[in-house]
Amino acid sequence: MAQEAASAPRGLVAGSAADAKLPFRGSSRHTYGAIDLGTNNCRLLVARPCEGGFTVVDAFSRIVRLGEGLAQTGRLSDRAMDRAVEALGVCADKLRRRRVSLARSVATEACRRAANGREFAERVRRETGVVLEIIPPQEEARLAVLGCHKLLGPGDGPALIFDIGGGSTELVLVEPGEDDETPRIKAWWSAPWGVVSLTESEGREAIEGDERVSAYARMRERARRAFARFAELLPKDAKDIRLLGTSGTVTTLASVHLALPSYDRRAVDGLHVPIEAMREISRTISEMDLEARSSLPCIGAERADLVVAGCAILEAILDIWPAQQLGVADRGIREGILRSLMARDGYVL
């Protein structure tokens, strides 16, 4: 597991970690920031510690499609990098305005895979002051678990936590920790398929064409094969198994399940949906054309072209881990970063 390292944007003073954790007392002098630059999205969260957790004081999210075309060229395109730099500039402005004292900014699969990923990170530092840390898959998985594990359903059995990203999917097998602490990670896996990479592997023409049901089946099988070795590590006779997903795919499908007129985090975060309902929604979406998917309120034009690949990955996960319900988390890496940084400064969250 990679050692955690904080990345402070230029002009921000890194705070020092306390040797021992202390209970939260009064208001915090410190404001913390977390940036998660994925293959598809750029997200920021700014928060201050409070009794029992933290209070969000600012947030930002923008679809930048950094990994667009990466599967074909092996490089980040100029247009994709421009979009990401612009979004990260917004994040840097927010960090400065909020007087953030300690921040960590991470980049994931697109920067890991791209031949020019480190060059891009240097451009980001030069133009925005944000110091991007390109983290390995196991650190990405650890942060996701740390950020969302409190939404696991009740039970003493093993749980699978997954994060469907733009360029990869992280799966983590966990078992309960002691005294309701962070669960213990038993095994983890990073598959090279996310909503962007899997869509590009099949081709948008196939997904939108008359044979789109067959294209969906191929994507689902591609994802299932990528999970096959991890599936061998999963307990075969475990009872009371649980499943929790953190990604735009699961929050979007949960919104469709609830028939929300617009996205509502309060309704989705912490929801538990029957597995068969999620399968039915996934298959229905896979049969729709682009216009029909775009007309669904919580999918819209921004997600309509990538959501089919997300459904295929989700069904492949359900195939290897037959839980009864899917827990939905609108939280993950950013929250994991914030909890890590605050714990290092001595706050008990």
Q: State the CATH number of the domain containing residue 107.
A: 3.30.420.40
Same domain, residue pair 66 and 150: no
Looking at the domain assignment, is residue 223 inside a domain? yes
Same domain, residue pair 214 and 278: yes
Same domain, residue pair 254 and 306: yes
Same domain, residue pair 133 and 154: no
Full domain range(s) for residue 93: 32-138+334-344
Give residue-wise pLDDT tens across range 197-210.
999 999 989 999 98
Same domain, residue pair 318 and 204: yes
Give residue-wise pLDDT tens across range 284-325.
999 999 999 999 999 999 899 999 999 999 999 999 999 999
- pLDDT, averaged across the chain: 89
d(CA 174, CA 146): 11
Q: State the CATH number of the domain containing residue 222.
A: 3.30.420.150
Give residue-wise pLDDT tens across range 87-124.
999 999 999 999 999 999 999 999 999 999 999 999 99
User: Sign (positive/negative) of CA torsion 96, 99, 102, 104?
Assistant: negative
Report the DSSP beta bridge partners of residue 164.
169
Residue 58 predicted with pLDDT over 90: yes
The percentage of the chain sitting over the pLDDT mark of 90, rounded to a whole number, equals 80
Per-residue pLDDT band at 28 (split at 50, 70, 90): low
Contacts of 72 (CB under 8 A, 6+ apart): 200
Per-residue pLDDT band at 19 (split at 50, 70, 90): very low
Query: Listing from the earlier edge strand, what are the strands of the sheet with 132-134?
Result: 53-63, 41-50, 32-37, 102-107, 132-134
Looking at the domain assignment, is residue 203 inside a domain? yes
Number of domains within the chain:
2
Give residue-wise pLDDT tens across range 121-138.
999 999 999 999 999 999
d(CA 311, CA 216): 9
Looking at the domain assignment, is residue 25 inside a domain? no
pTM summary value: 0.86
Measured torsion, CA atoms of residues 308, 309, 313, 318, in degrees rounded to the nearest 10: 10
